[in-house]
Structure 1
Amino acid sequence: MKLKRTIIISIFFVLMLCGSVLASPSSNNAKRINSTYISATTEETNIRYINDKFEVAPDKQWTIKFNKEVNPLAINTENVQVLDSKGQAVNITLGLSSDGKHVSINPPASKYISGETYSLIIKKSLSNKLNETLPKEVRMKFTIMKDNSNDTGNNVNPVLYEARQGLDKIYNLVKTDKERALVSALRDGVNTKINNPSATIDVNPLKDQYGNLSSDEKSDFKNAILSNFSIGALFEIKSIFE
């Protein structure tokens, strides 16, 4: 059993960290994100992170709930931003509810781009009516569901979608920010292969990220991998990158 476990781990890391990549979740039948409110789950010194969201509708409106009335003058795109994957600001519009405690983030008129990953950022400078600011900046990544209506010639291997789904689950299983950052990078790589099967992925940054994990983090990461991928799936995923 121990030998079998070692073989599984070896296959996975030969694939991901020594020559190719795996990444994020979203199958063709995945459901859209319908949640209205978002809440933070992990924290760093100056930033509070919210779990990544996937399969988000292109016309998604996010709503942020506060426990005190927000200063209307603070509701602007300096304090609340959406950036695309290149770090460019998206032309969103903002709204404030009648009770002053709910801020809506409306999509651009042209909607979000299919398959694109965005970052929602709420700056610490956002204040309430007492001019009290947030204790930390808040960030969340979200990925728009891919439009597969024109994918007849794309020849995307369905195993990539399985890999993406598995890594989605793994993201919520691992325990540290460094592990989550590695999973996010792996998902980005898989998304790249889904959008462009002939794309070449630079895996050196992935190997560096994995190498920077502590022994406990590596153990946790491997256990999460083993709980979400079968031997057959790992062999099949590996074959895609050979």
Structure 2
Amino acid sequence: MNQKWIIPIFVFFLLIISITIYFSTGLQIESAWAKKDSEFIVTPKKVWEISFSEKVDPSYLKEPYIFVTNEHGKQVKILVSRGSGPKSILISPPIEGYQSKMDYTLNINRKFQSIDGKELRRNIKILFTVKETVPVVSSR
């Protein structure tokens, strides 16, 4: 093999390995519904459970890493706690519940970390509208 090809081939393989490592590391959301860019209709007492690919660091279960804003951009008081396992969290509504007929955004900052120090790759925004009753979808 001609030596002029060795360096470009080596660089190519380094690039492939770097891309593979970049996309295989980092904390990821495992909850399928949270990966979609869609809006949700929820009741005023909705508790969100979000699962991650790794065990979450409990010191990040607070602002500015996780917060909810109303349609006017004002933050509302929520409670963030561990979920059913070490890889999940619960986001509980304000004591009085979310205000009906109002839009909210659940925000998870990309700086949110696992116990191994891995961060999310991007900020997460989950849009939801609050209604007193949620429509039932029939499977018929």
8 Å CA contact 2:47–2:92 kept in 1: the answer is yes
Asked whether the equivalents of residues 37 and 63 of structure 1 are also in contact (C-alpha less than 8 Å), the reply is no
Shift of 1:51: 0.9
CA distance in structure 2 between the aligned counterparts of 1:60 and 1:37, rounded to whole angstroms: 18
* Corresponding position of 1:114: 100
Shift of 1:120: 0.6
Give 1:74 deviation, angstroms: 1.1
> Counterparts of 1:58 and 1:37 in 2: how far apart (Å)?
22
1:39 aligned to which of 34, 45, 53: 34
Match of 1:125 in 2: 111
Say whether the 8 Å CA contact 2:34–2:126 is kept in structure 1.
no
Could you tell me which runs of 5 or more consecutive residues in structure 1 were left unpaired when the two chains were aligned. 1-35, 42-49, 148-242
Q: Deviations over 1:71-111 (max 9, x none)?
A: 11111121011000110111000111363111100000011
The answer to whether the 8 A contact 2:49-2:83 is kept is: no
Using the size of structure 1 for normalisation, the TM-score is 0.40
SS at match of 2:99: coil
Aligned mates of 2:79, 2:132 — CA distance in 1: 23
Query: Of Structure 1 and Structure 2, which has the larger fraction of its residues in strand?
Result: 2
Structure 2 Cα separation of the partners of residues 60 and 86 of structure 1: 20
State the aligned residue count: 103
2:39 is aligned, of 39, 52, 64, to: 52
Deviations along 1:177-210, whole A, 9 cap, x unmatched?
xxxxxxxxxxxxxxxxxxxxxxxxxxxxxxxxxx
Q: Work out the CA distance in 1 between the residues paired with 2:45 and 2:84.
A: 23
Q: Partner residue of 1:101?
A: 87
Contact 2:44 2:132 in 1 (8 A): no
Matched, 1:91 2:77: yes
One-letter amino acid of the structure 2 residue matched with residue 51 of structure 1 = S
Matched residue type, 2:39: D
Specify the code of the residue in structure 2 equivalent to 1:124.
R
Among candidates 117, 125, 129, match of residue 139 of structure 1? 125
Q: What is the match of residue 74 of structure 1?
A: 60
Q: 2:137 — aligned with what?
A: none
Gaps of at least 5 residues in structure 2 are: 1-30, 134-140
Does the 8 Å CA contact 1:37/1:64 hold for their aligned counterparts? no
Percent of aligned pairs with the same residue? 24
- 1:182 maps to none
- Paired position in structure 2 for 1:202: none
Answer yes or no: is the 8 Å Cα contact 2:43–2:132 preserved in 1.
no
Aligned partner of 2:12 in structure 1 is: none
Partners of 1:37 and 1:112 in 2: how far apart? 24
Name the residue aligned to 2:48.
62
* Correspondence list, 1:201-216, <5 A: none
Q: Aligned-pair distance for 1:40? A: 1.1
Structure 1 position 146, deviation (Å): 4.7
More helix by share: 1
Q: Secondary structure at the match of 1:63?
A: strand
